[in-house]
Amino acid sequence: MVRKVKKKRSGIRIFVALLLMVGIAAFVYKAIDPAVSIPPDKLNSPNAILIRLKDHTILMKKNSEEKIYPASLTKMMTAIVAIENLPNLKGEIKLTHSTFQGLYKADASMAGFQPGEQVRAIDLLYGVMLPSGSECCIGLADQIAGSEQNFVKLMNQKATDLGMHNTHFENSTGLHNENHYTTVKDLAILLSYALQNDTFREIFTSPRHATGPTNRHPRGITFHSTLFEDLNNQTMIGGEILGGKTGYTNEAGLCLASLAKVGKQEYILISAGAKGDHHSEQYNITDALAVYNSIRK
């Protein structure tokens, strides 16, 4: 009789222990349950980082501290430094012939302004970010710092101030230079900061912008965001991409910095190094849609 009671108690203990093990396993699984369901190795981009903007929590990363060439993602720094150093966004800036020197030869992306054109600073900022206009970068740099070289010093100082420890800029446009580099983690720090500025956020999230009339374009110019053009009506499930900046050089590959809203939260994704070019499938866009669609609501 005693043996049977002992056996029953032993069985109860084993059952309780099993329940505890299952409970602990469930808790641990929940604790490590990933915020996104897509594995990083499934991305086309060799470098990527996803951050929840509200609390800057890193939800996914892939070689996020590896050195990359940022291409035109550089222009995010150009824009925020310009915004913070311009006394009047409605003031006019004259683009001189020297503004364009070397840009055509380097096959730099342009917004469409001309030498001798007098353009409002705010329109140059939209020209920097939407069509990725290199002449806009040089025009702003010359106006603010007297030369692009001096303006780049402001960019590097800002990078230091923000804690972008693995970043160095050589120009304001993102044209390739061996000593012009960053990481997707550093770019996430930059974008998180820049989006706190209302002017930057407004530009970053605009699909298009019509400039005011100028002495060379009396009807103005209408810019279209390269991001929204590359999206080509592709949409997210349960959310939307709010804005972004594309980038590409042969050395940098296809790059993208984007802001999206999924549910009630905002997220930023920086990706770089995807294979392809302007004529191939836009794998930077493909990756962004895949990542944002995989976020657990």
Instruction: State the DSSP string of 244-297.
Output: EEEEEETTTEEEEEEEEEETTEEEEEEEEEES--TTS--HHHHHHHHHHHTB--
Global pTM?
0.88
The CA distance from 296 to 200, in Å, is 28
Helix (H, G, I), strand (E, B) or coil at 54: coil
Please, is 75 exposed, middle or buried when counting C-beta atoms within 10 Å of its C-beta (0-12, 13-18, 19+)?
Answer: buried
CATH numeric code, 44-293: 3.40.710.10
Give yes or no for a contact between 133 and 159, defined as CB atoms under 8 angstroms apart: no
Give yes or no for a contact between 249 and 229, defined as CB atoms under 8 angstroms apart: no
**Active site residue: 64, 109, 132, 258, which one?**
132
- Identify whether 294 is a catalytic site residue: no
pLDDT tens column, 235-292: 898 899 999 999 999 999 999 999 999 999 999 999 999 999 999 999 999 999 999 9
Q: Where are the domains of the chain?
A: 44-293
Q: What is the pLDDT of residue 2?
A: 47
**Active site residue: 45, 64, 75, 225, which one?**
75
Sheet architecture: strand order including 265-274: 57-62, 47-52, 265-274, 253-262, 239-249
Instruction: State the DSSP string of 22-43.
Output: HHHHHHHHHHH--SBSS-GGGS
- Identify whether 132 is a catalytic site residue: yes
- Identify whether 72 is a catalytic site residue: yes
pLDDT tens column, 11-55: 556 554 555 444 433 333 333 346 898 999 999 999 999 999 999
The CA distance from 74 to 123, in Å, is 18
Which tokens sit at 162?
């923000």
Alpha-helical (H) ranges within 52-120 are 74-85
Average pLDDT score over the chain = 91
| 269 DSSP β-pair partners | 50, 258
| 261 DSSP β-pair partners | 240, 266
**Active site residue: 45, 72, 109, 258, which one?**
72
Q: What is the pLDDT of residue 96?
A: 96
The CA distance from 281 to 204, in Å, is 23
Maximum CA pair distance of the chain? 105
- Average of per-residue pLDDT across 186-204: 98
Q: What is the pLDDT of residue 98?
A: 95
